[in-house]
Amino acid sequence: MRVALATCRALPRLVEDDRLLQVALAKTGVTAEPAVWDDAEVVWSGFDAVVVRSCWDYHYRLAEFDTWIGRLEQGGVQLWNPPEVLRWNARKTYLRELEVAGVPIVPTRFVEGGEAPLDAVLDEAGWNEVVVKPVVSASARDTWRASRATLAADGGRYRRLLAAGPLMVQPFLPGIQTDGEWSLCFFGGVYSHAVLKRPGPGDFRVQANHGGIYSSEHAPAALVSQAEAGLRASGRRTLYARVDGCIVDGTFRLMELELLEPGLFLGSDPAAPGRLADAAVRAMGHE
C-alpha cells in the first residue's frame, strides 16, 4: 500500500512527527511518502490514500486548499481526515456547534466585518482582558492580547484584522501562563497520549514558534473523558484528533479541536507512532 503524507513547500522532507509515522507505517507494510499539497507534478491518484499532515500554510490560501481537497474528493482519492472534516475544521466557528452540543468551551465572541468595535465586545461580555485571533489561523498567527487599558492602541489593529476576515475574541486566561494548556491526542477516536504546553517567559502563546515548551504528561482519567466527550460531540469520524484546552475551576474547557493538520507530539510517547499507524491501516481498510 502506498500512502502520501501531505505537507507544504516549506517542509518537503516532513517534520519529526511525520518521519516517525513513516517508520511505523513501514512496519505494517505501508509505504508512506511526502507530497507537497500544491505541487502540480504530484499524481494523487497514484496513492492508495492521502493523509493530511504538515500543510501548515493552508490558512494563508484557504480557497486554494479547499479546491485541492475538492479535486482529490472528485478523483476518488481516499483522504484522511475526510474532506468534510477538513472543511469543517478549517474555520474556528465550529466552536459554536460544539458549545450548542453541550461541550464546555472557552467563552468566545465571533465578530464579522462591520460589526461591534472591540470596546463594545468587551462591554457586552464583561471582560477586561482578551485574546483576539482570526477565525482562520494556525500557529497563533495574528493572535494577540488586548485589554481595556490598551484600547486606544488595540483598536486600530483590531479594525485592520477585521477588515481581512472574521475574528474571534476570548477572555484571557491567566492559568495558561501558570498551569499550561493540555493537548490530548486521539487516533481512530481512541485516546493515545497527552502533553502539557506552557508559554515561554513573558508570553502567553504556547506554540513552539513563539517560545512555548511542552512536556509529556499523564492525563487524569476525568480529563481524558472530558476531552473524548468534546471530540465525540463533533460527530465526525477521524483518523487523528488533538483536543486542546485548559482546566478552569476544575472543568476542562476546550480551546480548539484540531482535526486538520495538528502536530501530534509523536516523539513524546514511544508507542504513539505505532498507535497512529495501526489506526491508519484500519481506517484505510487495509488490515
Q: Are 35 and 7 in contact (CB under 8 A)?
A: yes
Write the pLDDT tens digit of every residue in 125-134.
Answer: 999 999 999 9
Predicted TM-score (pTM) of this structure: 0.93
Averaged over 42-61, what is the pLDDT?
A: 95
Residue 85 pLDDT more than 70?
A: yes
pLDDT at position 140: 62
Whether the bond into 81 is cis, omega within 30 of 0: yes
pLDDT at position 210: 60
Residue 206 pLDDT more than 80?
A: no
Highest mean pLDDT among 58-72, 112-126, 205-219: 58-72
Which residues does 208 contact at the CB level (< 8 Å), separation at least 6?
Answer: 214
Q: In one letter, which amino acid is 172?
A: F
Residue 157 pLDDT more than 90?
A: no
pLDDT at position 175: 81
Provide the percentage of residues in the chain whose pLDDT is more than 70. Answer: 94
pLDDT at position 141: 73
Pick the residue with more confidence: 160 or 70? 70
Cβ-in-10-Å burial (0-12, 13-18, 19+) of 7 comes to buried
Q: Mean pLDDT in the chain?
A: 92
Q: Are 254 and 241 in contact (CB under 8 A)?
A: no
Q: Are 62 and 138 in contact (CB under 8 A)?
A: no
Write the pLDDT tens digit of every residue in 214-269.
Answer: 888 999 999 999 999 999 999 999 999 999 999 998 899 999 999 999 999 999 99
Provide the percentage of residues in the chain whose pLDDT is more than 90. Answer: 75
Q: Does the CA dihedral 25-29-35-40 come out positive or negative?
A: negative
- Domains and their CATH numbers in the chain: 2-90 (3.40.50.20), 109-171 (3.30.1490), 175-259 (3.30.470.20)
pLDDT at position 287: 42
Averaged over 198-222, what is the pLDDT?
A: 78
